């Protein structure tokens, strides 16, 4: 089963799903949408090719061969999306995610629609983002990966203030994230030994200590340990300066880059693949993907959203489910 949470109703999520409706028509796999059914119908009515999905009374009524819709019960009234309060938007988005906890995700793929973190935090969402929520749900730490056709980037730290990054980095953290990236890349590109570049935290990787010692005292030992203990990490290189690593990956020298912090990795990634990258949480017992953009509330209802990232995310879910069933 592929589960799709619809995220924030004041978003381009449903518009993008309509624009990739051909993918749903081409797959015979069960797909379940999770969100507010009134918003689903109301927004579907705005687009030229609405997606048909049967409303089920409970998760027990899910049919793995059909398109299902699980309605999230909230206090939100049945009104046009633009009139929803921030609280109601947060309740709908958070309710969609909480529904995942009641499902058997053992052989599932999850596509999470973008949320507005600020409105979700106001209604009790205690995580920095959906990546951390999915890690908590799985009971294991994963790795945030943004994957485009040519550039794939994993992150050691996710949503942290710059002032906290150096103090958060440890040899064990870099070691674990590197192994998780290698493991996930094996699935993405079917390589048992992917070529991974690990970038340094500091300019010029510290330049012999002139700009910091973290790269020599934390990052390098983590790389050496991974190469000794994990066969998937034999072709890891680093630490190398961030100002050249991403270009070298784009040129085909590496399969992926491990960055130390959010904007260090996602700035180059989105420059190269703003529309067609996919957000993947690697290292979990189920596949979790998401578009690499936010809810884009400013484009709601304009019919101007680019659905490429949603398309790539759904294609990855379909491919993974085909691999599971052989």
Assess whether 7 and 118 both reside in one domain.
yes
Which pairing describes strands 237-240 and 256-259: parallel, antiparallel, or unpaired?
A: unpaired
Helix (H) or strand (E) holding 259: strand 256-259
Assess whether 117 and 157 both reside in one domain.
no
> What per-residue confidence (pLDDT) applies to 326?
60
pLDDT tens-digit profile of 29-46?
Answer: 789 999 999 999 999 888
pLDDT over 90, % of the chain:
79
In angstroms, rounded to a whole number, what is the distance separating the alpha carbons of residues 6 and 4? 6
> What per-residue confidence (pLDDT) applies to 210?
85
pLDDT of 325 higher than 70: no
Mean pLDDT of 132-155: 94
Parent domain of 96: 1-140+284-326
Torsion angle defined by CA atoms of residues 281, 284, 285 and 286, in that order, rounded to the nearest 10 degrees? -10
Q: Would you tell me the crossing angle of helices 220-229 and 171-189 to the nearest 10 degrees?
A: 50
* Residue tagged 């953009």 (tokens): 293
pLDDT of 238 higher than 90: yes
> What per-residue confidence (pLDDT) applies to 157?
95
> What per-residue confidence (pLDDT) applies to 198?
98
**Is the pTM higher than 0.75?**
yes
For residue 306, give the 3-state DSSP assignment: coil
pLDDT tens-digit profile of 168-186?
Answer: 999 999 999 999 999 999 8
> What per-residue confidence (pLDDT) applies to 30?
87
> What per-residue confidence (pLDDT) applies to 241?
96
Is the pLDDT higher at 147 or at 48?
A: 147
> What per-residue confidence (pLDDT) applies to 113?
97
Assess whether 156 and 261 both reside in one domain.
yes
Assess whether 162 and 233 both reside in one domain.
yes
Assess whether 297 and 265 both reside in one domain.
no
Average pLDDT over the chain reads 93
pLDDT of 107 higher than 90: no
pLDDT of 278 higher than 70: yes
In angstroms, rounded to a whole number, what is the distance separating the alpha carbons of residues 309 and 292? 7
Assess whether 63 and 52 both reside in one domain.
yes
Count of C-beta atoms within a 10 Å radius of residue 3: 25
Assess whether 290 and 195 both reside in one domain.
no
pLDDT of 49 higher than 80: no
Assess whether 4 and 131 both reside in one domain.
yes
Here the CATH number for the domain that contains residue 256 is 3.40.718.10
- Alpha-helix runs per DSSP H in the chain: 13-19, 21-26, 37-44, 86-99, 117-121, 130-138, 162-168, 171-189, 214, 220-229, 242-250, 262-272, 308-324
CA 124 from chain center: how many Å?
Answer: 21
pLDDT of 130 higher than 80: yes
Assess whether 132 and 26 both reside in one domain.
yes
pLDDT tens-digit profile of 55-65?
Answer: 998 888 898 88
In angstroms, rounded to a whole number, what is the distance separating the alpha carbons of residues 178 and 17? 33
- Domain count within the chain: 2
Cα 25 to Cα 47, 112, 215, 317, distances in angstroms: 17, 20, 49, 15
pLDDT of 314 higher than 80: yes
pLDDT of 200 higher than 70: yes
């Amino acid at each position: 089963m592929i589960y799709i949470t619809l995220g924030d109703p004041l978003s381009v999520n449903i518009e993008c799903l309509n624009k990739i409706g051909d993918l749903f028509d081409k797959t015979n796999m069960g797909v379940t949408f999770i969100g507010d059914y009134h918003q689903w119908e109301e927004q579907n009515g705005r687009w030229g090719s609405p997606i048909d999905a049967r409303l089920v009374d409970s998760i027990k009524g899910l049919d793995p061969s059909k398109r299902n819709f699980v309605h999230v019960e909230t206090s939100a009234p049945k009104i046009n999306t633009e009139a929803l309060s921030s609280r109601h938007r947060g309740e709908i988005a958070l309710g969609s995610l909480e529904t995942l906890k009641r499902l058997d995700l053992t052989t599932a793929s999850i596509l999470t629609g973008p949320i507005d973190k600020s409105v979700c935090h106001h209604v009790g969402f205690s995580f920095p983002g959906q990546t951390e929520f999915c890690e908590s749900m799985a009971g294991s730490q994963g790795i945030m990966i943004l994957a485009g056709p040519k550039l794939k980037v994993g992150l050691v730290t996710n949503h942290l203030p710059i002032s906290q990054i150096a103090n958060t980095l440890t040899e064990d953290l870099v070691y674990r994230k590197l192994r998780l990236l290698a493991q996930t890349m094996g699935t993405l590109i079917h390589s048992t030994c992917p070529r991974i570049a690990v970038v340094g935290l500091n300019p010029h990787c510290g330049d012999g200590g002139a700009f910091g010692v973290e790269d020599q005292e934390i990052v390098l030992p983590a790389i050496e340990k991974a190469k000794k203990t994990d066969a998937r990490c034999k072709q890891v290189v680093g630490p190398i300066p961030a100002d050249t690593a991403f270009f070298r990956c784009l040129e085909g020298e590496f399969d992926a880059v491990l960055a130390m912090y959010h904007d260090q990795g996602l700035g180059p990634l989105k420059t190269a693949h703003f529309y067609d990258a996919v957000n993947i949480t690697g290292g979990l017992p189920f596949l979790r993907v998401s578009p690499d953009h936010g809810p884009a509330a400013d484009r709601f209802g304009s019919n101007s959203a680019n659905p490429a990232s949603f398309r790539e995310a759904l294609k990855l879910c379909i491919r993974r489910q085909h691999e599971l069933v052989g």
